[in-house]
Chains A and B, each alone.
Chain A
Amino acid sequence: MSTSLRHTRRDFLRFSGGLSASILAVACVTPGADTGTDDTAGEPAVEKEQILVWDQFGEDSVGVNEIVVKFNEAHPEYHVTREAQTNMRDILKTSLDAGAGPDVMYYDTGPGFAGVLARAGLLLPLDDAYEQYAWNEHILPIARERASFDGVTYGIGNELEIVGTFYNERIFDEQGLAAPDTHDDFLAVCEALKAQDIIPMAWGNQNKWPAGHTFSVFSGNIAGKDNLAAAISGELAWNEPDFVESIQIPFVDMVDAGYYNTDINAVTYDDSNLLFYSGQAAMRLTGSWMIDGYTNPDNITDPVGFFFYPSIREKVIAPPAGLGSGYFIGRDAQSPEGAFAYLNFLFSDETIGDWLEGMAMIPPVRLNADDYSISDLLRFTIIEIQQNAESMGFNIDVLTPDNYNTMMFDGFQEVIGKVKTAQEQADDLEAAMQEAIERGTVMDITP
């Protein structure tokens, strides 16, 4: 007996229809992993208001996940779902515009980022929430200023950070060196290290953005805080001599002198940290967000010290300080009240320890560093920020328009690669700023 293997089109349709119906039936009766309802036995299920949060901390960020768990436990009427996004800049605008975006987002505060969303009406104004939750009383004014556009506040800036020089204390001790007080002293330290075949400073600029921090340090120290603020606001030309010198010294003179590792443009930011961890390099010019890494014995066993880049020609220093990103609420948030409650919780007394102790991040609130179990390096940073807030400079790329930033990052690679001079880069920076002024994307940070 033989069985025919031929099937008619009708058989195929019958099979497909049956399969679809089965899938649908299974989907309808299978319980979801998390329905966001409170279905405690014996009590009617309470529908929780859902809050979707997008941030850039990474999927496995223990500290942020801990905060979310705490919030959900403390607020049974809400349920926060956190999603870590690595390509927020690519998808956020479209998602919000389509009404499919998050309720709360952790996004760059600059005029080219949150500023674009705010001006497009995609963010919820928070001026009333600041009053309602008395945020002005414990959140630092800078956190509000940096998240305000055209006189309206849209968010809370977070991650207070400074940029300066981390150094390997063991190497300094062995070489009989001390943290320098002047730029000339700094160059002498570099010469001494170089003479011992130690890379004075590890620098990886393949990612492009690290050069922005270097420029922020030197332009703050050479042009001064007020002039830098004026330039960022489009009121002072970027090709003034002070800014040209701020490019010439770190991107040309110090490169030529061999004070960095070779192949700066081919080494990544992470790899330059490896040079520092391994003791091949003695110093790193970077931000306080690296404190967690520099105090982790799994990375580096030598003690790490910190100093602000010293004075150049006896000028008053203005080390870069600012905020990393900020929390914002979408215009179409499903539960604005829930989103306000989440933001309030993020910077409440209950969570400050999570930020500081769990993530070595400084939240934008008034706090006493001695109340927390943190590294000396982080404590030192907090005290410096608190004591010198008025004299601190700026992280340029956080405040400047996006077209300026892309030009700045590309241009500095070209200066390092000898394709462009410091003067040409300064001229290009000014041209980019003029284009941004024309487009209306410049943020005024002058007092």
Chain B
Amino acid sequence: MTTAAPVRWGQLSPRAKRKALAGWAFVVPALLIYAFFFIQPFFYSIYYSLTDWNGADPVKQFVGLGNYIKLAGDSLLWQALGHNLIWVIIGTVSPIAIGLLLGVLIWTGALGRVLFRTIYFLPVVLSEVVIAIIWNWIYHPLFGAVNQILRGIGLDHLARGWLGDPQTALLALLMTAIWSYYGFCFVIIMAGLQNVDISLVEAATIDGANGWQRFIHVIVPQLSHVLTMITAFTLIGGFNVFGIVFVMTQGGPGTATQVIATYTYRKAFQESQVGYGAALSMVMTLLSLVTSYIFIRLRERQEQ
């Protein structure tokens, strides 16, 4: 394989130069917007994380790594991190597993394919706040559907304030998140399934592979790129989760559902510790990046 040698600007013909400039003209605006709204705030956040700033004072007192040292001994951060890890594990595995299962079932020729696809995808088009409000009603201790159903089938003892009980609040939130996200996984997996080589599935059938074996050894490997992408997205989303938690429990009861993003919000905006909040957001960013990088590298190595 050969690669083309770089061409100098002066060597280009006028037509090629115009073409190159036109390309830049399309790229630069998006790049500027990205730099202004993402890169600049990112570097500002790094700077703020090195200060003790309340968000209002004109003077931002430089404290070096003070905020990061304080983070190490912050028990609430570790608790929030634990909740994020639970969220990442359950919140990643569950929607992908559900999406994969439903995707394969419908791909194999279920009737009403378009109808099912629409129904499963519906939660994805709802905003996070709307979803949170709907599920707040579903979990409502006085008139919520979950408790009504439990009472209706004689399981009164199981009815409870799902979001107010430290034992159930995080799982209840996770259920909401899974419901809101599995449709996205389903649609992406459905798209991936269109590229699955049917002849390989048929060959496996002729060779005597049962349905489970065809699924695990023939279909899933062909979906590996799709699954890698969804998993990476979900992992990052798991570390950044905010909306559902904030609207439904504000991190409560107590700190039972506090995650890093809500804890960051609390510190930066409710307690006016913007410097410390910025340090927390850096931790969140770092965790998302490192986890996603490790996962993608592992997948690549596995494929090789």
Contact = CB atoms under 8 A, between A and B. Distances in A.
Interface of A: 9, 89-90, 93-94, 96-97, 112, 116-117, 119-122, 206-208, 262-267, 271, 275, 402-403, 405-406, 410-411, 413-414, 416-417, 419-420
B142 to A, nearest CB: 6
B57 A406 contact: no
A414 B160 contact: no
A266 B165 contact: yes
B250 interface: yes
B30 interface: no
Interface residues of B, number: 31
Most buried by A among B54, B142, B160, B266: B142
Contact of B253 (A94, A403, A417): A417
A97 B56 contact: yes
A149 to B, nearest CB: 13
A265 B164 contact: yes
Given A206-B252, A263-B160, A417-B253, A116 B56 contact: yes
Nearest to A409: B252
Given A266-B165, A267-B161, A406-B266, A419 B56 contact: no
Given A263-B141, A271-B142, A414 B254 contact: yes
B266 A413 contact: no
B119 interface: no
A324 B261 CA distance: 29
Contact of A96 (B56, B140, B271): B56
Contacts of B142: 263, 267, 271, 275
A161 to B, nearest CB: 22
A275 B143 CA distance: 12
Given A206-B164, A271-B142, A120 B58 contact: yes
Contacts of B269: 89-90
A93 B161 contact: no
A264 B22 contact: no
A411 B164 contact: no
A266 B255 contact: no
Nearest to B167: A417
A262 B142 CA distance: 9
Contacts of A94: 55
B271 A402 contact: yes
A116 B272 CA distance: 8
Contacts of B249: 206
A207 B163 CA distance: 12
Interface of B: 22, 54-58, 139-142, 160-166, 249-256, 266, 269-273
Contact of B254 (A207, A403, A411): A411
Contact of A266 (B56, B163, B266): B163
Contacts of B166: 414, 417, 419
Given A89-B270, A112-B271, A116-B56, A419 B164 contact: no
Given A112-B271, A264-B164, A267-B161, A413 B141 contact: no
10 closest Cβ contacts across the A-B interface?
Answer: A266-B161, A266-B164, A263-B161, A265-B164, A414-B254, A120-B56, A263-B141, A413-B253, A265-B253, A413-B254
Decide if the interface of chain B is mainly helix, strand, loop or mixed.
loop
26 contacts: A93-B56, A116-B55, A116-B56, A119-B56, A120-B54, A120-B57, A120-B58, A208-B250, A264-B161, A264-B164, A265-B163, A266-B161, A266-B162, A266-B164, A267-B141, A267-B142, A267-B161, A402-B270, A403-B271, A405-B270, A406-B266, A406-B271, A410-B254, A413-B164, A414-B166, A414-B255
A121 B22 contact: no
A115 B35 CA distance: 35
A410 B271 CA distance: 13
B163 A206 contact: yes
A403 B276 CA distance: 13
Contacts of B160: 263, 266
B270 A420 contact: no
A277 to B, nearest CB: 13
A413 B252 contact: yes
- Most A CB contacts (10 A, CB to CB) among B54, B56, B58 go to B56
Contacts of A96: 56
Nearest to A416: B253
A417 B165 contact: yes
B134 to A, nearest CB: 15
A119 B53 CA distance: 13
Contacts of B253: 265-266, 413-414, 416-417, 419
A212 B58 CA distance: 32
A262 B141 CA distance: 8
A405 B270 CA distance: 9
Contacts of A122: 56
Chain A CB within 10 Å — which of B57, B141, B165 has the most? B141
Given A93-B55, A116-B56, A413-B252, A265 B161 contact: yes
A403 B56 CA distance: 16
A119 B272 CA distance: 13
A74 B266 CA distance: 43
A417 B254 contact: yes
B145 to A, nearest CB: 14
Contacts of A206: 163-164, 249, 252
Contact of B270 (A120, A121, A265, A406): A406
Contacts of B256: 417, 419
A9 B252 contact: no
A208 B252 contact: yes
Contacts of A262: 141, 161
A266 B172 CA distance: 12
A120 B272 CA distance: 12
Given A206-B164, A417-B166, 6 more contacts: A89-B270, A96-B56, A97-B58, A120-B57, A267-B164, A414-B253
A406 B256 CA distance: 14
B140 to A, nearest CB: 8
Nearest to B162: A266
B56 A9 contact: no
Contacts of B165: 263, 265-266, 417
